[in-house]
């Protein structure tokens, strides 16, 4: 499953990649923020999953989510938000933005795997 991991902290991208590897997702591309991620999506275009942080410079995760859901070519890619933002208002904003699943840091490999499976299932059921 070709996956795009978006986070401004290299250490967190590495952690997410390691967790993804534990659940047999090894084809991973990284981006430092939403703007860079959009460029990668436009250039490569065949991703099957997006895992994004919320708080990032240049383009936040929520802005990136909304840009993805507004783009006909990208909107069907399952989108999982992984963030420290646990406030109810943030979760509601992400749901309104079209997020397919949302998990709060810190997380376990099982929790991320469950979030991914649910996001993929949700996206497939909508197609």
Residue 107 has a pLDDT of 85
DSSP state string for 52-73: E-S--SSS-HHHHHHHHHH-TT
pLDDT (average), residues 41-60:
92
pLDDT tens digits, one per residue of 73-109? 899 999 999 888 777 788 888 889 999 999 988 888 8
> What's the pLDDT at 92?
85
Averaged confidence pLDDT in the chain: 91
Domains of the chain, residue spans? 3-118
Query: Percentage of the chain with pLDDT > 70?
Result: 99
CATH 1.10.3720.10, applies to 3-118: no
Which pLDDT tens digit goes with each residue over 10-33?
Answer: 999 999 999 899 889 999 999 999
Pairing assessment for the beta strands 3-6 and 28-31 based on DSSP bridges: parallel
CA distance 127 to 95: 18
* Global pTM value: 0.93
pLDDT tens digits, 51-61:
999 999 999 99
**H/E run at residue 33:** none
Which pLDDT belongs to residue 119?
93
């Amino acid at each position: 499953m070709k996956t795009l991991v978006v986070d401004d902290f290299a250490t967190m991208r590495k952690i997410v990649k390691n967790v993804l590897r534990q659940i047999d997702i090894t084809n991973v591309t990284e981006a430092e923020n939403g703007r860079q991620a959009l460029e990668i999506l436009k250039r490569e275009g065949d991703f099957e999953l997006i895992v994004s942080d919320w708080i990032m410079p240049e383009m936040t995760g929520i802005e990136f989510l909304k840009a993805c859901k507004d783009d006909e070519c990208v909107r069907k890619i399952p989108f999982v938000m992984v963030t420290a933002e646990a406030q109810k208002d943030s979760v509601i904003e992400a749901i309104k933005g079209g997020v397919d699943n949302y998990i709060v840091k810190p997380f376990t490999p099982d929790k991320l795997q469950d979030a991914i499976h649910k996001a993929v299932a949700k996206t497939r059921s909508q197609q």
